[in-house]
Amino acid sequence: MLAHAGVDVVAEPVDLEEEGCWRAVVARDRRWDGCFVYAVETTTIYCRPSCPSRRPLRKNVRFLPSAAAAERQGYRACRRCHPAAALGPAEAVVERVRALLSSDAQPAPTLAALARAVSLSPSHLQRLFKRHTGLSPKAYLDARRFGQLKAALREEADVSSAIYAAGYQAPSRAYARTRGQLGMTPSAYRAGGAGERIAYALARSALGRTLVATTVRGVCRVAFGDSDLQLLAELRTEYPRATLVPAGKAEEAWVQAVVKGVDAPWKPPSVPVDMHGTAFQLRVWKALQAIPAGKTASYRDVANAVASPRGARAVAQACANNPLAVLVPCHRVVRADGAVGGYRWGQARKRRLLEGEARPR
């Protein structure tokens, strides 16, 4: 059960007991303002518990720990009660930690130092921060620095300057931490993929024109499109200075396996992948690979699987950024009400994949 605002600032008011929350909404109890918000799925609006608006049907209501969590999942703030105007106790702690992690202090604050700053135990802070953001403080800092590094690699005069501008204390740490996320060394990424050899093949599959791209490490891109020109343009946009070459005999087996996997989605292809993204994206994509062919999961199910129960919207964004169609089966993620939901390469293709996997064999 939640602690009332002001009674125990360091209590963890995020394990929402839904019936207690609903009673607070029915009573328009102001004591709960700042402890949680409720979101209405039919209107995509979220409110304070005390909102004077007409109460929605219970079946359409979701409870979320904060205004920030509601907005990450795509809900809009109510214009009557302005639920984002004030932070609740848990939100205030999370925002304080975010500010400390964004301060660019050197060295970066440890979990113990962060916990002392907000008067919590390290374990309590770890749980609270992860519940609200989907990441531990360390993973949040890594993701922030990764984003800064990508921007700095495009803007700074040289790679070393970019690494230090992003907050890394030494080039060796930047190379060790980010090569898997970038898919190449920082220097190669700064050069737009210069020095990387990416072999590609364009083929016809059951879902139309299909691009399969590979590095020496594995398949790095599988995409569908209406034309070869479109698919190649997207590949060049991501790596403008990489060496793009038509796939040869060395890549033929991987390409054929992927195309067969598209045409027969109930038989997942067994090929190595060269997958790179943020820490959260990688967690989501690995969770998607655990969904069996012929089965589906909701965005909320996947959020729970990656220990981010409030992160359904963030999961949807990770699915939308998936570079490996079929190999990372984001088509198996559907809405909680059973509707197909969005798909990076179009709903018609998603339906066809799902229908193909569900067909008895």
Digit-coded pLDDT (tens) for 226-278: 899 999 998 888 777 788 899 888 788 888 899 888 888 777 788 888 887 77
Amino acid 112 reads A
Among the listed ranges 146-155, 184-193, 263-272, which one has the minimum average pLDDT value?
Answer: 184-193
How many of the other CB atoms lie within 10 Å of CB of 34?
24
Which has the closest alpha carbon to 353: 324, 331, 325? 331
269 near 212, Cβ under 8 Å?
Answer: no
78 near 318, Cβ under 8 Å?
Answer: no
Which of 70-84, 164-178, 344-358 is modeled with the greatest confidence? Answer: 344-358
Q: Which residues are catalytically annotated?
A: 47, 330
For residue range 68-103, list pLDDT tens digits in order: 788 888 899 999 988 877 556 676 788 788 888 877
Query: Which region holds residue 326: left if phi is over 0, alpha if psi is between -120 and 50, else beta?
Result: left
- Rounded Cα–Cα distance for residues 269 and 42 (Å): 39
Which has the closest alpha carbon to 188: 238, 143, 224? 238
Q: Does residue 53 surpass a pLDDT of 80?
A: yes
Token pair for 308: 């981010």
Amino acid 359 reads R
Q: Say if residue 32 is exposed, middle or buried (CB neighbours under 10 Å; 0-12, 13-18, 19+).
A: buried
